[in-house]
């Protein structure tokens, strides 16, 4: 099954691998699709969301849900919503499925039950045909997650007490609740991922005591004893776990510039490595698989590929191309990307992705206009693949550099934590030093440089314009933070001063109680007078991650300082540019702005 979006129309399609024919299952125009999955052979689940406000509750929220399609009758029903007694009216994450019994038309889904502030995060048994959910296991005010067997035996209930800063894990496998783990912490240091294949231990990721990376460990369901690491590397962290619908963990994907996989099944690991080697510099991702792992859906990006889906049969050893994610983009139009590494002014080693304009031979890759494109997060990273924004800029004739500055994830705890408290300082220096490398190599024209970013990348773009104003001829900030004291005030307002989310941001940026002057000093809004380059601000009106007021405050400050600024407000858009129409509008606005100011 796959989602398709063409000419402003979205739909879910069912593809027959034997005949090669696709048939529509339903029109999804107007909803923000977040993913699809099969719940057994007879039902397809569409995960979607929309931005809502609820009378009596503070602010807006991203309401998510799951829609079940009966593949035999074609009947479509939304799960849980409006069909579950005492369902809390204002919550996100309501469409998540954590388990299903084979050949049974029910799934397990967590949701908040209760219409007051005393609502509890409980476990529901939900009928795929009627959509009705019934509470089978009651959570409490501290519950944040569940792991459950297909038969409804609770392997784990996970709690986090924000007021007392206590993280705990409880099990009910023997018919009574038993606490098997407890830690006093402002932020959980381990992440429960699922259950092992023998169903006698939980699997979690945690920081290794011997390396700088996160590894995989087991926690016994009987007594909470911890063993491991059971999967680890000394050169990469765990980026994602591969689980089935019942959260049974089969393997992991490691971080790095190319995806690397390791499974408990050594033969499966060898098979995936073999097919990855066939695609050289391209990135090969595992997107889906059959229950017995004999059939795997692979996605290949990078090199000359804008996104190719392969159906890999491990029995016959054949890989069949079934679809392209971007069929209009031909191989000759895909820009060449490759990684580089450079040393910053204080000796930190930084890797970056460089993307060249297509059809420019290597000996002519000199003195080009350049777009510096720092990623969001900031605890994220750029890797080899088809980055649609970088590819767009390259297709317009610009060299693009994406630095994995300190504070990026994926390259070890030391690299990650080196960014704590360094917004606008060493993290920004890493971006600046990357630009200088491109100039010193003769690749980039120093008189034609622009800095562009989204989310934290938007902050970095504004910081570039404020703190290194002589470097850039233009600045483009999408959903960017401009006022850090205001951002932290907003996080405290929505989460509370004792919440781990607020604690995380204080740890990452600074504590406004003691560092208010510092936070203002690294906030671009308070340095609008220093800007020399024109600024383009882009922000979705429904952005709940970085509020649109951040861009409005920046616009006001720049106008008051007499600086050149444009502001594109995207109606109905969220933080992730989920709509095709507004994504195109953002690209067109950025393209026009770059052409105007970089010639």
* pLDDT for 131: 93
* pLDDT for 7: 75
Question: Shortest CA distance to 257 belongs to which of 387, 370, 358?
Answer: 387
pLDDT band at 60; cut points 50, 70, 90: confident
Cα Rg, the chain, nearest whole Å: 25
More reliable by pLDDT, 4 or 471: 471
Q: Tokens 């990135």 — which residue? A: 283
Rounded CA separation 377/477 (Å): 14
Per-residue pLDDT at 575 exceeds 80: yes
Mean pLDDT within 3-16: 86
Mean pLDDT within 322-345: 93
Rounded CA separation 405/407 (Å): 6
Q: What are 130-184's pLDDT values in tens digits? A: 999 999 999 998 999 999 999 999 999 999 998 899 999 999 988 889 999 999 9
pLDDT band at 56; cut points 50, 70, 90: low
As given in the structure block, the two tokens for residue 151 are 């038969």
Rounded CA separation 477/454 (Å): 6
Mean pLDDT within 314-332: 91
Mean pLDDT within 397-418: 93
As given in the structure block, the two tokens for residue 546 are 């970085």
Is residue 187 within 8 Å of 172, Cβ to Cβ? no
Rounded CA separation 74/236 (Å): 44
As given in the structure block, the two tokens for residue 233 are 């590397």
More reliable by pLDDT, 444 or 91: 444
* pLDDT for 200: 94
pLDDT band at 391; cut points 50, 70, 90: very high
DSSP per position, 482-532: --HHHHHHHHHHHH-TTSHHHHHHHHHT--TTT-HHHHHHT-GGGGGGG--
Rounded CA separation 451/534 (Å): 11
- Looking at residue 398, the DSSP 8-state letter turns out to be -
* pLDDT for 443: 96
Question: Shortest CA distance to 490 belongs to which of 428, 445, 550, 412?
Answer: 550
Mean pLDDT within 341-362: 94
Mean pLDDT within 464-480: 97
* pLDDT for 375: 97
Mean pLDDT within 109-125: 89
As given in the structure block, the two tokens for residue 580 are 């095709």
* pLDDT for 316: 93
- Averaged confidence pLDDT in the chain: 92
* pLDDT for 8: 76
DSSP per position, 450-469: EEEEETHHHHHHHHHHHHST
Rounded CA separation 16/311 (Å): 12
* pLDDT for 484: 93
Rounded CA separation 297/520 (Å): 48
pLDDT band at 237; cut points 50, 70, 90: confident
Q: What are 284-316's pLDDT values in tens digits? A: 999 999 999 999 999 999 988 999 999 999 999
DSSP per position, 98-137: -EE-TT-SEEEEEEEE-SSTT-EEEEEEEETTT--EEEEE
Q: What are 10-35's pLDDT values in tens digits? A: 889 999 988 888 899 888 887 888 89
Rounded CA separation 154/174 (Å): 9
pLDDT band at 48; cut points 50, 70, 90: confident
Per-residue pLDDT at 52 exceeds 80: no
Per-residue pLDDT at 454 exceeds 80: yes
Residues sharing a CB contact under 8 Å with residue 121, sequence separation 6 or more, in sequence order: 110, 111, 112, 139, 143, 144
- Rounded to 5°, the CA angle 582-305-295 comes to 100
Q: What are 72-114's pLDDT values in tens digits? A: 998 999 999 878 888 888 787 788 999 998 888 999 999 999 8
Instruction: Give the least confident one: 200-209, 243-252, 431-440.
Output: 200-209
* pLDDT for 223: 92
* pLDDT for 245: 93
Mean pLDDT within 574-580: 88
Max distance between CA atoms of the chain, in angstroms, equals: 71
* pLDDT for 234: 84
Per-residue pLDDT at 219 exceeds 90: yes
Give the rounded percent of residues in the chain with a pLDDT score beyond 90: 69
* pLDDT for 469: 97
* pLDDT for 57: 67
């Amino acid at each position: 099954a796959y989602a398709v979006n063409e000419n402003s129309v979205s739909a879910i399609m069912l593809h027959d691998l034997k005949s090669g024919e696709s048939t529509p299952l339903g029109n999804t125009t107007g909803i923000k699709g977040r993913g699809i999955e099969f719940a057994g052979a007879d039902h397809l689940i569409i995960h979607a969301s929309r931005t809502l406000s609820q009378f009596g509750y503070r602010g807006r929220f991203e309401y998510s849900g799951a829609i079940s399609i009966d593949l035999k009758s074609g009947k479509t029903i939304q799960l849980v919503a409006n069909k579950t007694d005492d369902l809390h009216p204002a919550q996100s994450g309501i469409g998540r499925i954590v388990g299903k019994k084979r050949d049974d038309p029910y799934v397990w889904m967590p949701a908040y039950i209760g219409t007051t502030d005393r609502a509890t995060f409980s476990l529901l048994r939900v009928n795929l045909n009627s959509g009705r959910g019934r509470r089978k296991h009651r959570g409490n005010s501290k519950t944040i997650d569940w792991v459950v067997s297909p038969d409804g035996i609770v392997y784990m209930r996970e709690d986090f007490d924000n007021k007392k800063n206590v993280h705990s894990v409880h099990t009910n496998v023997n018919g009574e609740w038993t606490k098997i783990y407890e830690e006093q912490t402002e932020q959980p240091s381990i992440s429960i991922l699922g259950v092992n294949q023998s169903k006698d231990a939980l699997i979690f990721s945690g920081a290794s005591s011997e390396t700088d990376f996160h590894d995989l460990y087991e926690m016994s369901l009987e007594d909470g004893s911890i063993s491991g690491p059971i999967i680890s590397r000394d050169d990469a962290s765990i980026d994602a776990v591969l689980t089935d619908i019942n959260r049974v963990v089969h393997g992991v994907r490691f971080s790095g510039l190319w995806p690397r996989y390791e499974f408990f099944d050594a033969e499966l690991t060898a098979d995936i490595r073999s097919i990855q080697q066939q695609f050289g510099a391209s990135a090969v991702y595992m997107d889906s698989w059959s229950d017995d792992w004999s059939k795997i859906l692979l996605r290949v990006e990078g090199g000359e590929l804008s996104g190719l889906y392969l159906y890999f049969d491990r029995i016959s050893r054949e890989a069949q191309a079934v679809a392209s994610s971007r069929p209009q983009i031909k191989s000759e139009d895909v820009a060449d990307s490759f990684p580089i590494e450079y040393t910053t002014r204080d000796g930190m080693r930084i890797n970056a992705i460089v993307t060249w304009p297509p059809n420019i031979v290597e000996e002519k890759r000199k003195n080009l206009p350049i777009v510096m494109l720092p990623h969001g997060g900031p605890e994220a990273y750029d890797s080899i693949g088809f980055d649609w924004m970088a590819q767009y800029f390259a297709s317009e004739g610009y060299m693009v550099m994406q630095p994995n500055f300190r504070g990026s994830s994926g390259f070890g705890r030391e690299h990650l934590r080196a960014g704590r408290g360094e917004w606008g300082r060493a993290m920004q220096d890493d971006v600046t030093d990357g630009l200088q490398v491109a100039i010193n190599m003769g690749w980039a024209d120093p008189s034609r440089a622009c800095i562009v970013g989204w989310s934290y990348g938007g902050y970095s773009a504004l910081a570039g314009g404020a703190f290194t104003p002589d470097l850039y001829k233009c600045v483009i900030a999408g959903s960017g933070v401009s006022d850090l004291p205001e951002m932290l005030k907003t996080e405290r307002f929505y989460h509370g001063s004792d919440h781990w989310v607020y604690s995380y941001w204080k740890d990452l940026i600074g504590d406004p109680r003691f560092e208010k002057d510092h936070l203002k000093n690294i906030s671009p809004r308070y340095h609008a007078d220093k800007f020399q380059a024109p600024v383009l601000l882009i922000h979705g009106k429904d952005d709940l991650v970085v509020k649109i007021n951040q861009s409005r405050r920046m616009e006001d400050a720049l106008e008051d300082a007499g600086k050149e600024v444009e502001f594109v407000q995207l109606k109905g858009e969220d933080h992730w540019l989920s709509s095709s129409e507004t994504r195109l509008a953002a690209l067109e606005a950025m393209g026009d702005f770059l052409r105007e100011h970089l010639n």
